[in-house]
């Protein structure tokens, strides 16, 4: 395992958490959006991660026990459940019965997800800073 392996793993996690936070921000920004260019209300988006497969060269250069992997975003999906209906007959997007289709976004859940993504991001930044300090200490020896 080379000196920069843990930096690569943490960097991949930073990229993935950034995409996750951007997606959550989009969900929170569109919690009241009832009309989109595609038609209908905004659909909540969810991010899915998986371990990042090692390249062939990485397999050649490492032992099985030392095979570190990062993380990557595999897909971002839209919610397929029907929109929630809110009674508001004066709204311009209301149907004939006075109900407005609204996005299925729970602000509390999104906030907790954002806090989790932020903590994960901070943990990886701390890991990178620690690795950087260890490399600097090793250079002074």
Encoding tokens for residue 35? 């009309």
Q: What is the pTM of this model?
A: 0.82
Please report the DSSP string for 7-74 in residue order: HHHHHHHHHHHHHHHHHHHHHHHTTT----TTSSS---EEEEEEEEPPPHHHHHHS-STT---EEEEE
Residue range 3-41, pLDDT digits in tens: 777 888 899 999 999 999 999 999 999 999 998 988 889
Confidence at residue 130, expressed as pLDDT on a 0 to 100 scale: 92
In terms of residue numbers, what domain contains 13? 5-140
Encoding tokens for residue 136? 């600097």
Q: Which of 36, 72, 77, 33 is nearest to 55 (CA)?
A: 72
Residue range 71-106, pLDDT digits in tens: 899 999 999 999 999 999 999 999 999 999 999 999
Number of structural domains, the chain?
1
């Amino acid at each position: 395992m080379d000196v920069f392996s843990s930096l690569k793993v943490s960097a991949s996690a930073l990229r993935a958490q950034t995409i996750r936070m951007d997606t959550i921000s989009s969900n929170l920004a569109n919690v009241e959006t009832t009309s989109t260019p595609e038609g209908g209300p905004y659909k909540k988006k969810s991010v899915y991660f998986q371990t990042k497969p090692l390249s062939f060269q990485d397999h050649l250069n490492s032992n099985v026990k030392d095979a570190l992997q990062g993380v990557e975003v595999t897909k971002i999906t839209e919610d397929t459940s029907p929109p929630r209906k809110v009674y508001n007959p004066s709204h311009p997007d209301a149907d004939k019965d006075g109900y407005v289709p609204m996005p299925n976004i729970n602000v509390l859940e999104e906030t907790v997800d954002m806090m989790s993504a932020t903590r994960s991001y901070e943990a990886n930044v701390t890991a990178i800073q620690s690795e950087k300090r260890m490399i600097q200490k090793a250079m002074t020896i």
